[in-house]
Structure 1
């Protein structure tokens, strides 16, 4: 299975939605708390190529983007393959 990591912050509705989608897929993932101004947020920004918003999701180090990106991948049938489920 690929390594899945999602950077979130407490109270973020987009983060909750993205995490719920990953949970619905029954995949193991690491959720990293990354509020503004923390080293974790800086790491997410660096890994994502400058994206400053959360959530930011990565599979084996490759950025899948934020919540809207995950939802688009799900709608187009691409998410399962990226998560190693196909």
Structure 2
């Protein structure tokens, strides 16, 4: 079973688009997108949870991955697939 993926994003965010493209290439079609540009309180919540103010901020299951650069680095290190396809 694929983990639940949440991505905090904005409407005009090239890194959000690249992160979504990378996740989809890994077979993740269902990404819950939370738009922080629609409500300032949502950005506040994201900042409290992640300690970061930039988007995207990505969660795979309960794991905070970070932004696109972090997601891409995990992929290059071979650590993204195990997160997306947990054994069991």
- Please name the residue that 1:3 is paired with: 4
Q: What is the total number of aligned residue pairs between the two structures?
A: 85
TM value normalised by structure 1: 0.85
- Please name the residue that 1:34 is paired with: 36
* Superposition deviation, residue 40 in structure 1: 2.0
* Superposition deviation, residue 85 in structure 1: 5.6
* Unaligned 5+ runs, structure 2: none
Q: Could you say if the C-alpha distance between residues 36 and 22 of structure 1 is closer, same or farther in structure 2, counting changes exceeding 3 Å?
A: same
- Please name the residue that 1:44 is paired with: 46
Provide the rounded CA distance (Å) in 1 between the counterparts of 2:62 and 2:48.
Answer: 12
* Unaligned 5+ runs, structure 1: none
Stretch deviating more after TM superposition (62-71 or 32-41) = 32-41
TM value normalised by structure 2: 0.84
* Superposition deviation, residue 56 in structure 1: 0.2
Matched, 1:54 2:49: no
Matched, 1:83 2:84: yes
* Superposition deviation, residue 37 in structure 1: 5.6
